[in-house]
Amino acid sequence: MRSTFVFLSFFILSACDWRSNPIDSMFDTYIERIANVQDEPPMPLEPNQNIILPPKRELYTDVAPITLGLLDSYELRKCDLFNLIADKNSSLGKVQDPFRNFDYQVNVIEGLNLCLQSQDISSVLKAQLTPILMQKMEQLPIHFSNLVFTSEAMRAQLSGYNWVDEDIKVIPSTLKGALETLEMYAESLSSTSQNLSFSTLVSIQETLNKQTVLGRLNYSLVNATHKLKTTTSQLNANDQNIVCAKGRDKTRFNILRNVFQSYYVDKLQPYLANLDSQYLSIEPFLTFTETTHPIYTYPIRDNHANFRGAIQQHVGYWKTLFERCGAAPSR
């Protein structure tokens, strides 16, 4: 009975270790090896922090309804707006998701512009349509904000619960294209022009929903930053344990230099460089995550800046150590 219990306990512990992410294991091993050389206990690494958006109710902005009773006018059939409104008022149209709703709003604006330019529409009706067009234009950025932060596809894209895999070296081109499309929409909405030329956003919805890269990248930047800072603190707090003065035994320093080469240079540094490269490849298309919502900013740009700072501080310690000991970083 006792042997069975021991076996089960070993199995459970092994299963927990087996489920550990390789990136977590790299950071754990790195700080443990440093602590062993310093002959000090390792500082505990912070638990990983998930990237979770605020609840939908906090990010959703109500859009005041615009009464379109006059759109029952038969005249609107002459500029293809009547059927569009009718479809929206159907049972299916009333439950559109944010992507389809945004496409609808864009189509209404385009339809209103066509009506105002049409010679088949009376001046009386045009006078009624003009303020409606202005209202629709003013509301479009709100619809876009709701799409970015409350749609299921974008919330899946922006949330992160795990590291970027080591074997993923580049952002998929389809996702980069989708982010670029959102960025162009945001830029167009920030302009004062009424001549909007948009393709359908529904076409990129599936890509954003399934290729959930942005949240994982943000997760990786945040948690790598925390772990690097703790490891740097470990090095600085026990720096006096590494003796390399003339005539003193440099064994501990030489072992620590091997730890730097084997665990940071050979393993962690390539992964961190990959995260940095992935971020930079999509950085031009991320402004919409900062400027779209009236009060909320998706913090990936700040997280990347903190990530860069943590790397500089960490490498800075090693540079200072090697200068103090008059040695090169390599073995």
Instruction: List, for residues 171-184, the tens digit of each pLDDT value.
Output: 999 999 999 999 99
Q: Does the structure show a pLDDT above 90 at 119?
A: no
Q: What integer best gives the mean pLDDT of the chain?
A: 87
> Is residue 15 very low, low, confident or very high in pLDDT (cuts 50, 70, 90)?
very low
Q: Give the N- to C-terminal CA distance of the chain in Å, as an integer.
A: 51
Could you give the CA distance from residue 146 to residue 152 in angstroms, rounded to a whole number? 11
Average pLDDT over residues 118-141: 89
Q: Does the structure show a pLDDT above 50 at 101?
A: yes
Q: DSSP 3-state assignment of 16?
A: helix
Of the candidates 166, 200, 126, the one whose C-alpha atom is nearest the C-alpha of residue 275 is 166
HSE-CB at 125 with a 13 A cutoff on CA atoms is 24
Q: Give buried/exposed letters for 76-99 (b at 16+ CB in 10 A, else e).
A: beebebbebbeebeeeeeeebebb
Could you give the CA distance from residue 272 to residue 86 in angstroms, rounded to a whole number? 53
Indicate the residue type of 143.
H
Could you give the CA distance from residue 47 to residue 330 in angstroms, rounded to a whole number? 32
| Alpha-helical regions (H) of 266-299 | 269-282, 288-291
Of 92-101, 117-126, 267-276, give the lowest mean pLDDT range. 92-101
Handedness of CA 307, 311, 314, 317 (dihedral sign): negative
Q: What percent of the chain has pLDDT over 70?
A: 85
Q: Where are the domains of the chain?
A: 20-51+214-325, 56-158+172-205
Q: Does the structure show a pLDDT above 60 at 221?
A: yes
Instruction: State residue 244's pLDDT score.
Output: 87
Q: Does the structure show a pLDDT above 90 at 124?
A: no
Instruction: State residue 3's pLDDT score.
Output: 46
3-state helix, strand, coil in the chain (%, to 5): 70, 0, 30
Residue count of the chain:
331
Tell me which of 63 and 163 has the higher pLDDT: 163
Instruction: State residue 18's pLDDT score.
Output: 43
